[in-house]
Amino acid sequence: MSRTFALAMQDFQPGLPLAVAFSGGADSSALLLACAERWPGQVSAIHIHHGLQAAADGFEQHCRDACTRRGIPLRVQRVDARHAPGQSPEEAARSARYEALRRCAEASDPPVRHIALAQHADDQVETLLLALSRGAGLPGLSAMPARWERDGLQYYRPLLDVSGESLRNWLRERDISWAEDPTNADEQYTRNRIRARLLPALEAGFPQFRDTFARSAAHAAQAQRLLDEVAAEDLVRIGLPPQIQRLQQLTRERQGNVLRHWLRSTHATAPSAAQLEELLDQLTACTTRGHGIRLKVGAGYVERQGQVLTWYNRPVLLP
């Protein structure tokens, strides 16, 4: 069975002061109010106004009213979440959110270094099923981590073992209202179709699915950490930037693993499966001094320069 909200909050031990990302929905409402009750005077809220739908102004006003009633400090950050050419809308919105959270945290007095997000067990299942539907590898199948660091900030997801219904019940018991995002019912979005169609079927056929899916995601995350350790050791051997001859001494699987690690850790980009396969094919064929490599990889381009591979976040001009 999924853990109760009260038990999850009892085990949640973040650093203080703490900010809670507050959308106004049920999940973030429950998390914000529970945190504010537990650590009075140490909790603030951050609301990100994406401007992507007509209801966004209403969400902001709801958050302002809720925080004013309870004396919770609120910062609102408006962002431009439109995606650039070649960038997915989801990645654009995610990057904009993290940048907005960072700015709000740094502008707080005193600055906030700990931020809680309200994703819960159902969100975790949806993330895993989305990853499976897209043929994702271990990073995708690892779903969402409970704690991580980004831009010098510590992030927490304390509700990953708690069902969404448990959070809504907690609010109903206290007669606390929340804002409903109308796009959550729009089944043109894959995540919404999963929520509306697959989760009820899983609940009926496999009542323990939240726990078992979470264990599978944990196994994938453990395997990915091991691959990251191997990649870090291989990256030391092949050098920075990667030396082609040393790369060719590795198996194809280890070449792919270390190249993903290099692109992610050094250049904050990730190749698609097709891009990585093409790059590996080019490495195999690179047996002469005149063999050139210029490939679109991730958000930029990989090019051969002499005996090494380099990466650019701008187009490489062909001769």
Domain range list for the chain: 5-212, 239-312
Answer yes or no: are the C-beta atoms of 34 and 22 closer than 8 Å. no
Contacts of 116 (CB under 8 A, 6+ apart): 12, 14, 18, 19, 20, 21, 31, 35, 155, 156, 157, 158
Contacts of 273 (CB under 8 A, 6+ apart): 135, 137
5-212 is classed CATH 3.40.190.10: no
Q: What is the pLDDT of residue 189?
A: 86
From first to last of its 319 residues, what are the pLDDT tens digits of the chain? 457 899 999 999 999 999 999 999 999 999 999 999 999 999 999 999 876 676 788 999 999 999 999 999 999 998 876 665 555 666 667 788 899 999 999 999 889 999 999 999 999 999 999 999 989 999 999 999 999 999 999 999 999 999 999 999 999 999 999 999 888 888 998 999 999 999 999 999 999 999 999 999 999 999 999 999 999 999 999 999 999 999 999 999 999 999 999 999 999 888 989 999 999 999 999 999 999 999 999 879 999 999 999 999 864 444 4
User: Percentages helix, strand, coil for the chain, rounded to the nearest 5?
Assistant: 50, 15, 35
Answer yes or no: are the C-beta atoms of 259 and 276 closer than 8 Å. yes
